[in-house]
Amino acid sequence: MAVRHPPLFGPRELRRIGHQVRQSRERERMTQNQLANAAGISPRAIRELEAGRSNPALATMVAIVDSLGLTLDELVEAARSAPPGPDITRAADVGEGETPLVRTLHEPRMNSRMYRPGDAASDIPHPANAVFYHVLKGAIAVDVAGESITLLRGDSLHIEAGVEGHWRARDGKSQILVVEAAGTAGRATQD
């Protein structure tokens, strides 16, 4: 079976690139229309990029960074320098064959547990180590880094070591696979 590799830049990185482009454009005191004219692209393309809703071609990015006095390296660094957030894999995004479900987990010595919570209301704290949740049946609510996320059947979520929060089943019929990376507590990930 062929292994599908995740894209170099996912939605989170594209939002960071868009944010960096907007900050640079505002620092240069340019409007979106002025940047579009300088780069030779449509104003809509600039709006979509700044909103993190597009993945422009390399030639488009070169035209934009040239117009802003930036380099591509600066944009890539901005996309990768922000602290890691949750790494969500939605069931709808998984194709045929093997698909990597977690892109950010390093040194994967893992312990797994299957939860079939009968009480939908009880909160279960995240382990101190890096953890991977995969919903096999039902739905769960996950609170992480001040954000509440609902995961449905087939969805997955990875959380780095040391992130505080908890999760709970949305109903008494949920079935959740929890995989904890042993020995990662307090360890920062390295690229």
What are 66's two structure tokens? Answer: 């040239």
The CATH 1.10.260.40 domain(s) of the chain lie at: 11-81
Q: CA-to-CA distance for 168 and 119, rounded, in angstroms?
A: 9
| 51-65, 92-106, 113-127, 166-180, range with greatest mean pLDDT | 51-65
Confidence at residue 81, expressed as pLDDT on a 0 to 100 scale? 74
More confident residue, 121 or 34: 34
- How many beta carbons lie within 10 A of that of residue 64, not counting itself? 26
According to DSSP, residue 77 is labeled H
At the topology level of CATH, where does 87-181 sit?
Jelly Rolls (2.60.120)
Please list the alpha-helical segments (H only) found in the chain: 11-27, 32-39, 43-50, 58-68, 72-81
Residue 77 amino acid letter:
E
Does the global pTM surpass 0.75?
no
> Residue 52: which residues within 8 A CB-CB, separation 6 or more?
11, 14, 15, 16, 17, 18, 19
- Residue 133, burial from CB neighbour count under 10 angstroms (0-12, 13-18, 19+): buried
The rounded distance, in Å, linking the Cα atoms of 121 and 182 is: 28
Amino acid, single-letter form, for residue 174 = S
DSSP state of 159: E
Q: Is 73 exposed, middle or buried (0-12, 13-18, 19+ CB in 10 A)?
A: exposed
Residue range(s) in the chain whose domain bears CATH number 2.60.120.10 = 87-181
CATH 3.40.50.720 fits 11-81, yes or no: no
Q: Which residue has the higher pLDDT, 66 or 85?
A: 66
For residue 73, give the 3-state DSSP assignment: helix
Joined together, the tokens standing for residue 39 give 């780069």
The model's pLDDT over 68-92, given as tens digits with 9 standing for 90+, comes to: 999 999 888 877 776 656 667 666 6
Which of 116, 109, 161, 112 lies closest to 133 in space, CA to CA?
112
